[in-house]
Structure 1
Amino acid sequence: MSIKNRIKDLADSHHQSIAEVERHLSFGNGTIAKWDTRSPSSEKLQKVADYFDVSTDYLLGRDAKENKTADLADKDTVFT
């Protein structure tokens, strides 16, 4: 699934259009649609992730979990 499609799914689940998300984030009209063929800047990708409270890894398809806050047991391992 592409970045744009993940954002579309998130927007749909929040009863918003891509255009509404772009306006809220002060992106130019059609910015997110271009992400089907171009990579977004890390700053813009982070803005979208923060807006929907998901990780950038989720938007990039690297993480199947939508939830931004990962289980601490998975992230924090104490090495002695």
Structure 2
Amino acid sequence: MFYEKLQELAKSTGKSFNQIENDLNYSKNTLYHYRKTNPTQDRLLELADYFNVSVDYLLGRTENRKEDLTEQENALVRAFRIESEDMTEEEQAQFNKSLKDMMKIAKDLLNDDSNWKK
């Protein structure tokens, strides 16, 4: 899926893999190797930035090319993914519920001015 997305993005921008590799200072045939291997996290981020798309789009997890999230929201999403990547589906569901509950508590605390008086 990743390799096909790369091909699609290269075609839509009118660039060859060689041009993209040169632009990103990758060695020759780096992008062709992704037919059989997976890129590193750093490469995923570089390619997403290069094409101005989300990593999720590159991985085929969404059809939306770019998420309209703020940098703070993106940081929260990255933290969530890091913390939940080794969890089972059941653990992820429990984790999500806990986070939603904590966010409600945090919002209530934020809205209570007595928490912020010195």
Bucket of the pairwise TM-score, normalised by the shorter protein: 0.7 to 0.9
When normalised by structure 1's length, the TM-score is: 0.80
Superposed, which structure 2 residues align to 1:1-80 within 5 Å?
A: 2-66=1-65, 68-70=66-68, 79=104
Structure 1 unaligned spans of 5+: none
When normalised by structure 2's length, the TM-score is: 0.56
- Deviation (angstroms), 1:7: 1.0
Amino acid at match of 1:31: T
- Deviation (angstroms), 1:20: 0.5
**Which protein, 1 or 2, shows the higher relative CO under an 8 Å CA cutoff with sep ≥ 6?**
1
Compare CA radii of gyration and give the structure with the larger one: 2
Distance in structure 2 (CA, Å) of the matches to 1:5 and 1:61: 9
- Deviation (angstroms), 1:71: 6.8
Q: Which has the higher helix share?
A: 2
Question: How many residues are matched?
Answer: 75
Amino acid at match of 2:51: F
Distance in structure 2 (CA, Å) of the matches to 1:32 and 1:49: 13
How far does the alpha carbon of each residue in 1:23-56 deviate from its partner, in whole angstroms, 9 at most, with x for none?
1001111111111111101101110100010001
Q: What is the Cα-based RMSD across aligned positions, in Å?
A: 2.0
Identity %: 30
